[in-house]
Amino acid sequence: MGTRRADGEGSYRQRPNGLWEASTRYTAPDGERKRLSVYGKTRAEARGKLNDACKRIAEGAPPRDDKQTIGSW
């Protein structure tokens, strides 16, 4: 029997192109529920990127710096 992940840990899957996708849902500052997906060559790399993004969200920063204007933040 498999193990269960903790609440908020996200889900992982290997895409057909070989990359690993880690995704989770989070609540944006405006109260809207959003999905965040990050990709990596290995599952551990994807998990690390997801953990970094979750830490940024907890600090009140946007999950990613790129593709977001200062005005929208």
Query: Tens of pLDDT along 19-57?
Result: 999 999 888 777 889 899 999 999 999 999 999 988 888
Q: Are 12 and 20 in contact (CB under 8 A)?
A: yes
pLDDT: is 12 or 65 the higher one?
12
For residue 45, the model assigns a pLDDT of: 95
Which token pair is 67?
């593709």
Q: Are 38 and 22 in contact (CB under 8 A)?
A: yes
pTM for the model stands at 0.73
Listed in order, strand segments (DSSP E) in the chain are 11-14, 20-27, 33-40
For residue 27, the model assigns a pLDDT of: 84
**Interatomic CA distance for residues 36 and 15, integer angstroms:** 16
